[in-house]
């Protein structure tokens, strides 16, 4: 079994997807399960985790509706305002749906780099474990020290770093990202997604070798029991096709044992997101 642990859907409108800045015009269209399904089949991907791309409760409910219609959507990471006094009520409501598996906030878009240290945000994070929910960390490298502080504070709460926290691959810069990611990986409740790499590289001139130093750091730090693979479709299509993105991961993983590959491709995601075994 192979799981794509990070992809998005949207019915595009400029008001809700303002993060699609100039240069990202190709994303300003509807991207729906029917568009992704043939790509999954071509790359032999059995299921996905659909991740929020817009900070609204309406999108979270819409994604769950898609999961009801398309069995390949194994889980949804939605959005809830964890800073709100209503956070507990919203988490309780969404967690009644078996495919609502986690929450994400667009921390990278917050003007305050120390957003993860806010008392109201941490109060919301403290409610996740009660409902068996995970948290996806969408960060830039400068946020990693604050992510460490957060994950250390909530040691029983599962966290996963999206997109390796977006290291400066285009500039071929490893530090201080590598040191900070190694420090974060010391916390056993933190996982990492191998995703979103091609859009951090030179979109039109990247080579597979550009990613090897970053992947080496991730696997040396997290091991093969706390790493997952994600495409970041359709955002990845700014720099590469779905097939090529997933092939990059497959090529790197080929040096691992079959058991290690199985862990990275599916078992880690199933354990982290609490996905049911499939017969």
Q: What is the pLDDT of residue 257?
A: 98
d(CA 254, CA 2): 14
113's CB contacts (< 8 A; 6+ apart) are 142, 143, 146
Asked if the model's pLDDT at residue 278 lies above 70, the reply is no
Average pLDDT, integer, range 145-161: 98
Expressed as residue numbers, the domain containing 181 is 3-273
Q: Is there a domain that residue 278 lies in? A: no
Q: Is there a domain that residue 211 lies in? A: yes
CATH number at residue 117: 3.20.20.140
Could you report the per-residue pLDDT of 7-30, keeping only the tens digit for each?
A: 999 999 988 888 899 999 999 999
Tokens of 223: 């091991």
Q: Is there a domain that residue 279 lies in? A: no
Q: Tell me the CA distances in angstroms from 99 to 48, 96, 107, 138, one per residue in order.
A: 11, 9, 23, 21
Band (pLDDT 50/70/90 cuts) for residue 109 is confident
Q: Is there a domain that residue 67 lies in? A: yes
Question: Which residue in 196, 203, 201, 200 sits closest to 228, CA to CA?
Answer: 196
Could you report the per-residue pLDDT of 24-72, keeping only the tens digit for each?
A: 999 999 999 999 999 999 999 999 999 999 999 999 999 999 999 999 9
Q: Is there a domain that residue 220 lies in? A: yes
Average pLDDT, integer, range 138-154: 97
Could you report the per-residue pLDDT of 161-213, keeping only the tens digit for each?
A: 999 999 999 999 999 999 999 999 999 999 999 999 999 999 999 999 999 99
In the chain, how many domains are there?
1
Q: How many CA atoms lie within 13 A of 71 on its CB side?
A: 3
Asked if the model's pLDDT at residue 279 lies above 50, the reply is no
Q: What is the pLDDT of residue 229?
A: 98
Band (pLDDT 50/70/90 cuts) for residue 148 is very high
What DSSP string runs through the chain?
Answer: --EEEEE--B---TTT-TT--TT-GGG-S-B-HHHHHHHHHHTT--EEEEE--S--HHHHHHHHHHHHH-TTEEEEEE---TTSTTHHHHHHHHHTSTTEEEEEE-GGG-S-TTGGG-HHHHHHHHHHGGGT-EEEE---GGGHHHHHHHHHHSTTS-EEEGGGG---TTTT--TTHHHHHHHHHTSTTEEEEE-S-GGGS-TTT--GGGTHHHHHHHHHHH-SSSEEE---BTGGGGTS-HHHHHHHHHHHHTTS-HHHHHIIIIIHHHHHHTPPP--
Could you report the per-residue pLDDT of 218-258, keeping only the tens digit for each?
A: 999 999 999 999 999 999 999 999 999 999 999 999 999 99
Asked if the model's pLDDT at residue 276 lies above 90, the reply is no
CA dihedral 223, 228, 234, 236 (to 10 degrees): 10
Share of the chain above pLDDT 70, in %: 99
Q: Is there a domain that residue 165 lies in? A: yes
Q: Is there a domain that residue 19 lies in? A: yes
Could you report the per-residue pLDDT of 114-136, keeping only the tens digit for each?
A: 999 999 999 999 999 999 999 99
Q: What is the pTM of this model?
A: 0.96
Contact indicator for 148, 184 with CB cutoff of 8 Å: yes
Contact indicator for 163, 232 with CB cutoff of 8 Å: yes
Q: Is there a domain that residue 248 lies in? A: yes
């Amino acid at each position: 079994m192979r799981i794509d642990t990070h992809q998005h859907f949207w019915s595009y409108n400029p008001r809700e997807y303002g993060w699609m800045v100039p240069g990202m015009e190709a994303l300003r269209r509807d991207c729906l399960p029917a568009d992704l399904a043939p790509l999954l089949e071509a790359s032999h991907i059995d299921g996905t985790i659909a991740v929020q791309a817009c900070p609204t409760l309406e999108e979270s409910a819409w994604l769950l509706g898609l999961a009801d219609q398309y069995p390949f959507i194994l889980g949804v990471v939605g959005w809830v305002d964890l800073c709100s006094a209503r956070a507990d009520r919203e988490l309780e409501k969404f967690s009644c749906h078996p495919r609502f598996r986690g929450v994400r906030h667009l921390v990278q878009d917050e003007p305050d780099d120390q957003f993860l240290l806010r008392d109201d945000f941490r109060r919301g994070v403290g409610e996740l474990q009660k409902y068996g929910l995970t948290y996806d960390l969408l960060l830039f490298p400068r946020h990693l020290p604050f992510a460490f502080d957060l994950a250390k504070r909530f040691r029983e709460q599962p966290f996963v770093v999206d997109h390796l926290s977006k290291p400066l691959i285009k500039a071929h810069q490893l530090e201080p990202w590598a040191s900070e990611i190694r420090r974060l990986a010391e916390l056993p409740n933190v996982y990492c997604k191998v995703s979103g790499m091609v859009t951090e590289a030179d979109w039109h001139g990247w080579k597979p070798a550009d990613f090897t130093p970053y992947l080496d750091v991730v696997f040396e730090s997290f091991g093969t029991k706390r790493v997952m693979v994600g495409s970041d479709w359709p955002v990845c299509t700014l720099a590469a096709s779905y097939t090529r993105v997933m092939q990059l991961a497959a090529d790197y993983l080929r040096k691992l044992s079959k058991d290690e590959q199985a862990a990275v491709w599916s078992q880690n995601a199933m354990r982290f997101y609490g996905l049911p075994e499939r017969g």
